[in-house]
A and B are shown apart, each in its own frame.
Chain A
Amino acid sequence: MPAKTPSPLAGAGPSAHASGGSTRTMAAKIWEDHVVVAHPGEPDLLYVDLHLVHEVTSPQAFESLRLNNRRVRRPDLTLATMDHDVPTLGGRAAADEIAERQMAALEENCRREGIPLFGMGSSRQGIVHVIGPELGLTQPGLLIVCGDSHTSTHGAFGALAFGIGTSEVEHVLATQCLRQRRPKVMAVTVEGELPVGVTAKDVALGIIGRIGVDGGRGHVIEYRGSTIRGLSMEGRMTVCNMTIEGGARAGMIAPDEKTFTYLKGREHAPRGQQWDTAISRWSALATDADALFDREVSIDAARLEPYVTWGTNPGQSVPVTGRVPDPTSETDQRALQYMALEPGTAIESIPIDRVFIGSCTNARLEDLRIAATVVRGHTVHPKVRAMVVPGSASVKRQAESEGLDAAFREAGFEWRDAGCSMCLGMNPDILGPGERCASTSNRNFEGRQGSGGRTHLVSPPMAAAAAIAGHLVDVREFN
């Protein structure tokens, strides 16, 4: 988060923490709680409470530690899983040779350093940003990092969580610390009741459409307002997850009763007297009433609609009832060409070949439930291949216990094992060249889901409806 200068408006320096400064943002409070060393003019050295590790961005970090004869400082604050590469059909044997090498490297690195690992076949395996919350490891007030840009997801619990690169992964492994410039803080306030058919995903796409794909650069975003408070924890995770698509490294939401209810009783949540201590600490994290933000954006929930992206970045979206817009820049022009779309085309007339319901954005139980509600009693369009990839082994088990798998299978969806899957296509789940996909994932970049593939980002119910209709369709008019 290398903001250019410490941000005076977002909270006073560490001294304010010591004196219990009373006008601070949540981001400032958590930041100051984690300062190990602060030297004027230098980035702060921050302590990391939880370091999540996966197979793709960690091998070079472990290798470098080994070459420098260094060890992992706090394996007990580190958790590894396999998610990016893992096949979602046929188990580990279905992995290609280099993916297998990467998974084997993670196993060996974790074994040598004593890091807990939920590998393929583990009952706790899953997408790193799904399992952290599920296990109760993601808690308010923590500083959480992972070598993955969607680490912003964990901010839904009132944690400061952001993605890092492999050099930083190495730094955290070796020192449990990270050197960072203090970012600015942007408030995004969404007020009002969400219209029928509008989900957390649409809130996220609406925000990105408003601020732009680099609107949050140099900032942490704090999501506020009655709409955000009204979202479930799953919905809040979806909104925080997409923060990076608006250019901000971290997104966060103040913890409240919903947060505490979600956490209570989870495997790693505090218990007994410690639970009470935790609640009182967590309750003090929210931004103080008179704290100032560096930037404020307000959004009226009543004006949000189910969105569909038409281009090759997540800011290029329109309401599903809309049309492909006229290009206003060379970027737009390139995007239309890549997507093979003509300006003026009704979004609902765009046929699709594939549907992907999955990813750290939208593969939690609530997402699968709402998608299953749409598909029940229907059949996937004969020209569409549709798959559901649960976010974790646990989500998969719970979904199966509720019969969601049967609903999807009977409608003609493939029901897969947990992993990142076709969100980024590092495993065998990819789009073919020219294939068009309605996807609940987070990125519609060129080739993201497979070289030449065309991605339309939508919410889970919109993806489910598109699978049945065979084209993009307004879920509000569906059934």
Chain B
Amino acid sequence: MEPFIRVTGVLAPLDRANVDTDQIIPKQFLKRIERSGYGPFLFYDWRRQGDFILDRAEYRGATVLVTGANFGCGSSREHAPWSLLDAGYRAVIAPSFADIFKSNSFRCGLLPVELPEPAARALIDLALQEPGMEITVDLDRQRVAAGGFEASFSIDPFFRECLLNGWDEVALTLRQEAQIARYESTRPSWLPISG
């Protein structure tokens, strides 16, 4: 995974709550066996309806999305953060994220930033009033800054370290092979096996 320290870029607003992963990337695009190539299908159905806000010229090339609460609810498909990454987004700001989406985002390098509802609302309004404005999301300092707007955010310290360093979580865990083997040796013999 590429390290994530900070990103500066255009802020795009999606003023909707409970955006589910079926909207982020509809199921007909989940049949690929690769991790990339999902960007063109991000918010596919909404974009197809025409005049979708994220398709407006002033938000083109945006790297940060600000949206409503409970973003990424529904299916566990990691294709949702993959499609955001593939479309150029590096961070999403929202009052809250669905648990699985947040976990997936940490693990594939998309930064989920939780800001209180009024702050997220202020950013949505800012992005609507000043389309094309830039924002900086600084993971190292845990701060968001855009124009006169500034806010700090809290984040899981473990995943912050992983993102800042671009660590491979599997490699980290494989270093604990001895502990895993020790645990395995204590598992009762009657536990089920699939084979």
Contacts and interface: CB of A to CB of B under 8 A. Distances in A.
A447 B103 CA distance: 25
Contacts of A77: 193-194
Contacts of B190: 270, 274, 277-278
Given A77-B194, A213-B70, A167 B75 contact: no
Contact of B99 (A1, A36, A167, A448): A1
B183 to A, nearest CB: 4
A85 B170 contact: no
A238 interface: no
Interface of A is mostly: loop
A36 B30 contact: no
A174 B31 contact: no
Interface stretch (A52-60, A317-325, A408-416, A457-465): A52-60
B17 A331 contact: yes
Contacts of B170: 68, 70, 170-171, 174-175
Nearest to B26: A447
Interface in B31-49: 31-35, 45
Interface string A238-259: 0000001001110000000000
B116 to A, nearest CB: 14
Interface stretch (B2-10, B122-130, B145-153, B174-182): B174-182
B63 interface: no
Contacts of B16: 330-331, 334
B74 A443 contact: yes
Contact of A424 (B27, B103, B193): B27
A75 B184 CA distance: 14
Nearest to B157: A41
Contacts of A277: 188, 190
A75 B195 contact: yes
B74 A98 contact: no
Contacts of B73: 213-214, 247, 313
Interface stretch (B85-93, B104-112, B136-144): B104-112
Contacts of A191: none
A214 B156 contact: no
B27 to A, nearest CB: 5
A438 B99 CA distance: 29
A451 B26 contact: yes
A179 B154 CA distance: 20
A99 interface: yes
B76 to A, nearest CB: 4
A78 B195 CA distance: 8
Which of B15, B154, B170, B188: most chain A CB closer than 10 A? Answer: B170
A43 interface: yes
Chain B interface bracket (under 10, 10 to 19, 20 to 34, 35 or more):
35 or more
Contacts, number: 213
A176 B180 contact: yes
B69 A214 contact: yes
Nearest to A183: B99
A90 B3 CA distance: 47
A348 interface: no
A177 B173 contact: yes
Given A76-B195, A77-B193, A116-B195, A167 B78 contact: yes
A200 B12 CA distance: 42
Given A247-B99, A278-B190, A446 B107 contact: no
Contact of B193 (A64, A76, A163, A278): A76
B76 A148 contact: yes
Given A59-B33, A445-B23, A181 B100 contact: no
A137 B194 CA distance: 7
Nearest to A105: B33
A477 B26 CA distance: 38
A101 interface: yes
A164 B76 contact: yes
B54 interface: no
Given A42-B158, A102-B33, A149-B76, 13 more contacts: A2-B99, A36-B176, A57-B76, A78-B194, A85-B31, A98-B31, A114-B195, A165-B107, A171-B170, A247-B73, A329-B17, A426-B31, A446-B22
8 contacts: A4-B156, A68-B168, A99-B31, A167-B108, A214-B70, A247-B98, A426-B30, A445-B23
